[in-house]
Amino acid sequence: DEPGNGGALHLTGSGTVKVSNSKVVKNKAGAEGGGLWNSADGTMTVKNSVVSQNEGSGAEADQGGGGLYNDGGELRVTGSTVSRNEATGELGSGGGILNVNGTLEVADSSIASNTSKRAGGGIETSAGTVALMDVELVENTTGKAPGNGGGLHATGEATVTYDGGRTVRNKAAAQGGGLWNSETGTLTVTDVTIRKNKASEKSNNYNDGGVFTVDGEPVESGTDDGGGFPLPLPF
């Protein structure tokens, strides 16, 4: 039933929730946050936990978040695994995590084998601020609607820093098998292995015109840093 948010746990208002040493598995939400959902005024911490095989099935571009959904609040994920979650709606985004105008911090964690229909197979951020530290984005996939950012998709005026980790073997139907940055976004990547990602266009990194640097070197609009494997259409 509407609104259909938070299959396992839904935090509303200005609460604080800590999820530690837990398994959040095989939950479903009709709109957002198949596993966990955090409110605009909420603070949620996920530590040493597994978030896996959850499904968010909202049809809009700002819905999905198969594993976790952050609706403008503060979400911190540490020492955890977010895997095999799905955003299955027609324009569902963020198979693993969807951050909408919030603050997302992920450290010492694996975001792996998640899928979305629209964008951000692993992580989608719509504006907001994201800090990734020693994070693995591995084997995430996004489909054809439009199919951008297999590992990470940053849209709107998002600010993302990614320091340490790997982005490998992710797939996108269209652009940026690994990482995708918007025309108004800022994406700063340091000491991250980015390779063997696949897409029909720009297999590793795609910059739609914003500020995107990898180890201090700019990724120009519409260019790729190489090292990936172009995937022929159709995906």
Confidence category of residue 97, pLDDT binned at 50, 70, 90: very high
State which residues form the domain around 91: 9-230
Chain CA centroid to CA 123, Å: 0
Identify the pLDDT of residue 221: 82
- Mean pLDDT across 145-155: 96
Residue 197 belongs to a domain:
yes
How many whole angstroms separate alpha carbon 56 and alpha carbon 192? Answer: 29
Identify the pLDDT of residue 103: 99
Residue 175 pLDDT more than 80?
yes
What pairing do the DSSP bridges indicate for beta strands 123-126 and 186-195? unpaired
**Burial status of residue 86 (CB atoms within 10 A of its CB: 0-12, 13-18, 19 or more):** buried
Residue 235 belongs to a domain:
no
First-to-last alpha carbon distance for the chain, in angstroms, is 33
Identify the pLDDT of residue 224: 60
Residue 142 pLDDT more than 70?
yes
Q: For the chain, what is the domain count?
A: 1
The whole-model pTM stands at 0.94
Residue 229 pLDDT more than 50?
no
How many whole angstroms separate alpha carbon 119 and alpha carbon 213? Answer: 21
Residue 3 belongs to a domain:
no
Residue 4 belongs to a domain:
no
Residue 2 belongs to a domain:
no
Identify the pLDDT of residue 201: 83
Residue 102 belongs to a domain:
yes
How many whole angstroms separate alpha carbon 33 and alpha carbon 2? Answer: 13
Residue 1 belongs to a domain:
no
